[in-house]
């Protein structure tokens, strides 16, 4: 066994032992958890974020912003639709499914920065999607809202409200827009209750509202873990780093925690 594999094995065992006794877990996820679904991560978004400049000569952060949506919805929607179509062509992966599977064993709250909706699709029931979900469309002119399963089925771009014909927007947080208040309250209330294990998965951990819970947890002596093939700003903060891809690490972790919680031969429903 290579040293890295041995480190990963040891790390998974340490985290599994904790999770086997834990009552509540917080899983904070970013673009990396959807990478194995084929969703490009932030910097790799098909050159979109990578090149930084759009065809309109504006940085992508400016095009995908609240002010641009208000001023020039056609331009903003050109890039929104690109993201939406990328999501529509992808499905949840083993990492999303493993996180949903943990709910059979303990209380799990998923805090995600992703807008792809894959955690709920995979079966997670307590998801705080801080940046929204691109499958929900809101009318800019009336209170109308609807779900769109697949962006490739949109009759026109920008899409229009079936009720009043107004331009719609996806229910996501664009650049220069604030986080939705009710979701930050929900998060604060969950954090106040505390967790036994804090997992950071596939996020470069750039925002303070993403890193803060880990710094606080560390100070309070709670157990913190990072799952990421590369280093991030949290790598030196967490108790255990699981250096690997979420789609292989999380299923292994789930299997081990299941074994520890239900040791073979102790199945209460077996026999009579
Ligand atoms: P990021 O692109 O900045 O960082 C991705 C992280 O994932 C990196 O640290 C990388 O090492 C890691 N990673 C790559 N492959 C991985 C894998 N297989 N398993 C585990 N980790 C892996 O992403 P971010 O921190 O989420 O910030 C990006 C912003 O862009 C967020 O605000 C998010 O809303 C948005 N975004 C969303 C999606 C989506 O909805 N799927 C995709 C791209 C960007
Ligand atoms: Zn409307």
pLDDT digits (tens, 9 = 90+) for 205-256: 988 999 999 999 999 999 999 999 999 999 999 999 999 999 999 999 999 9
* Its pTM surpasses 0.95: no
* Residue 137 CB contacts under 8 Å (≥ 6 apart), including other chains: 145, 146, 147, 148, 159, 168, 169, 170, 171
Q: What percent of the chain has pLDDT over 70?
A: 92
Give the Å distance between the CA of 75 and the centre of ligand 2: 20
∠ CA 114-165-56, nearest 5°, is: 55
User: Which pairing describes strands 197-201 and 168-172: parallel, antiparallel, or unpaired?
Assistant: unpaired
Beta bridge partners of 152: none
Residue 45 has pLDDT above 60, yes or no: no
Task: Give the atom of ligand 1 at the shortest distance from the alpha carbon of 31.
Answer: 26
96 in active site: no
Let me know if 119 is exposed, middle or buried by CB neighbors in 10 A (0-12, 13-18, 19+): buried
* Residue 222 CB contacts under 8 Å (≥ 6 apart), including other chains: 194, 195, 196, 197, 198
Q: Ligand 1 site: residues with CB under 6 angstroms?
A: 30-32, 34-36, 39, 41-43, 45, 113-116, 131, 202-204, 227-230, 232, 245-247
């Amino acid at each position: 066994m290579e040293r890295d594999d041995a480190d990963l094995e040891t790390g998974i065992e340490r985290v599994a032992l904790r999770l086997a006794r834990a009552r509540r877990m917080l899983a904070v996820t970013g673009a990396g958890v959807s990478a194995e679904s084929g969703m490009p991560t932030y910097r790799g978004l098909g050159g979109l974020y990578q090149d930084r400049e759009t065809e309109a000569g504006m940085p992508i952060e400016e095009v995908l912003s609240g002010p641009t949506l208000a001023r020039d919805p056609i331009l903003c929607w050109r890039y929104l639709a690109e993201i939406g179509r990328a999501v529509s062509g992808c499905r949840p992966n083993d990492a999303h499914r493993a996180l949903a599977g943990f709910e059979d064993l303990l209380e799990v709250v998923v805090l995600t920065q992703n807008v792809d909706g894959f955690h709920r699709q995979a079966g997670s029931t307590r998801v705080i999607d801080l940046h929204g979900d691109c499958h929900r469309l809101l009318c800019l002119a009336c209170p109308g809202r609807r779900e769109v399963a697949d962006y490739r089925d949109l009759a026109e771009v920008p899409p229009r409200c079936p009720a009043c014909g107004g331009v719609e927007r996806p229910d996501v947080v664009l650049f220069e827009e604030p986080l939705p208040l009710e979701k930050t309250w929900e998060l604060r209330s969950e954090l106040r209750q505390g967790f036994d294990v804090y997992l950071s998965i596939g996020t470069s951990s750039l925002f303070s509202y993403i890193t803060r819970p880990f710094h606080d947890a560390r100070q309070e002596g709670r157990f913190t873990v990072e799952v990421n093939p590369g280093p991030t700003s949290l790598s030196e903060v967490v108790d255990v780093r699981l250096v690997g891809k979420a789609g292989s690490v999380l299923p292994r972790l789930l299997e081990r925690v299941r074994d520890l919680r239900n040791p073979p031969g102790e199945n209460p429903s077996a026999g009579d």
